[in-house]
């Protein structure tokens, strides 16, 4: 399985994990909420909303369009920060995001935190 296929499988796992946690939303946020210049759209969206409505669609566009995959990504540190008080419930999501970071960047952005 090549890197693109592995990335697609991880995106599917992220979606399933969000759904399993009850964080997957059926309604889209308002258009203005998706327009943010802040990292992770933290000023307008919850982290799980950013994953669902910004990161996942962009990554699917990259994969489906066969565009070059990003080579520098670090989403898992933000997930670890956001869910630091709920690690028992969100550990699976953090682990999948960490795998995604490692696959694309080749490094573990949480190595110092482990």
64: CATH: 1.20.1440.40
pLDDT in tens, 44-76: 999 999 999 999 999 999 999 999 999 989 999
Q: What are phi and psi of 62, to 5 degrees?
A: -60, -50
Separation CA 114–CA 108 (nearest Å): 10
> What would the two tokens of residue 91 be?
């550990």
Q: Is residue 89 part of a domain?
A: yes
Q: Which domain holds residue 75?
A: 3-22+41-105
**pTM to 2 decimals?**
0.91
pLDDT in tens, 8-25: 999 999 999 999 999 999
Separation CA 54–CA 48 (nearest Å): 10
CA distances from 3 to 58, 77, 105, 106 (A): 17, 22, 11, 11
End-to-end alpha carbon distance in the chain: 28
């Amino acid at each position: 399985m090549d890197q693109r296929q592995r990335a697609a499988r991880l995106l599917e796992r992220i979606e399933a994990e969000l759904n399993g946690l009850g964080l997957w939303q059926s309604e889209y946020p308002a258009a203005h909420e998706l327009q943010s210049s802040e990292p992770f759209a933290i000023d307008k969206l919850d982290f799980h909303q950013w994953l669902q409505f910004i990161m996942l669609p962009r990554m699917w566009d990259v994969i489906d369009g066969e565009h070059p995959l990003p080579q520098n990504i670090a989403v898992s540190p933000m997930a670890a920060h956001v869910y630091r008080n709920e690690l028992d419930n969100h550990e699976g999501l953090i682990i999948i995001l960490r795998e995604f970071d490692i696959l694309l960047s080749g490094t573990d952005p949480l190595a110092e935190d482990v």
